[in-house]
Amino acid sequence: MISNWGPAGVRAIRNTSAPMTYALIGLCCLIFVLGPASGFVPSYGTGDALLAAQRAYFHRWGVVPADLFASPAREALTPVTALFVHGSWIHLLGNMLFLYVFGAMTEERLGRVEFTLFYLTCGYLALLGYTLANADSTQSLVGASGAISAVLGAFLYLFPRARVTSLLPFLFFLPLRFPAWVVLPFWAALQWLAAGQAAQGPGVAYLAHLVGFTLGFGYAWVRFGRTTRVKAAPATVPEGENQP
C-alpha cells in the first residue's frame, strides 16, 4: 500500500484502478506456471531432463545477445517475450511484488494505453541496452526487471513524497511504512537472491535495471515536467488518523 503525506503531515491513501498492471501480473504468473521453471507441468520431466527443458525454454523465449545480433530479424521480438518469462519463483514473486506496489499509481497517472506502451518500450530498450554491452554473450536473459525498473523510476519522479507500507515476514508481517530509498535496495537484494537461485537458468542483467530506471525517470521528467509532480493535499480527519 502506498500513501502520500501532505504539508500538514496527514496521510492520504490513494485508491487506484489499474487494470493493465493487474493484467501484466496475471499474464506473467500464468506463463510461469505453464513453463518448466514452475515444476507444475509433468511433461517437462524431472532431474536432468527438467534442467534441459528449462535451458531450452529460456533460450527460446529469452534474449541471447549473440543470437540477437547474429539474426536480428528472427530474434527481434525476444526482448518483448523475455519480459514475461521468469527463472524461478523468487524471481517472479520479487518482480510482481514491485509491479503491484508501484505500477497501479503510475498507471493511474499515465493512463492505461500510455502505461502499457511505456512498460513494453522501456522494458525492450532496457534489455537491448544490456545486449549492446554484452554482444558476445550466449547466456539467455529473462524477466520483467528492466520494465519494472522503469516503473520505479517514473514513480519516484511523479510521487516523490510517497511512502510504501510493507509486510515483512521476519517481523511477523507487521505493517511498516518505508520511504522509497529503503524499499529500492530491498528490491535489488531480491534480484540478487533470484540470480543465485537460477544458476542453471537465465542471467540477471543489473545493467538492464539501471537502463530501465533511467529511462523511466527521464520519461516522467520529460512528459510531465518539474511542475506537475503529484503531492497529497491535507485531508480533514475528524478523529485522529484514518485507517486504510
Q: Would you name the residues annotated as active-site residues?
A: 145, 209
SS3 165: strand
Q: Any residues with CB less than 8 A from the CB of 186 and at least 6 apart, and which?
A: none
Query: Sign of the C-alpha dihedral, residues 105, 111, 112, 118?
Result: negative
Instruction: Cell numbers for 232, please give them.
Output: 497529497
Q: 103: helix, coil or strand?
A: helix
Burial of 77 (0-12, 13-18, 19+ CB in 10 A): exposed
Q: What is the H or E stretch that residue 49 is in? A: helix 47-61
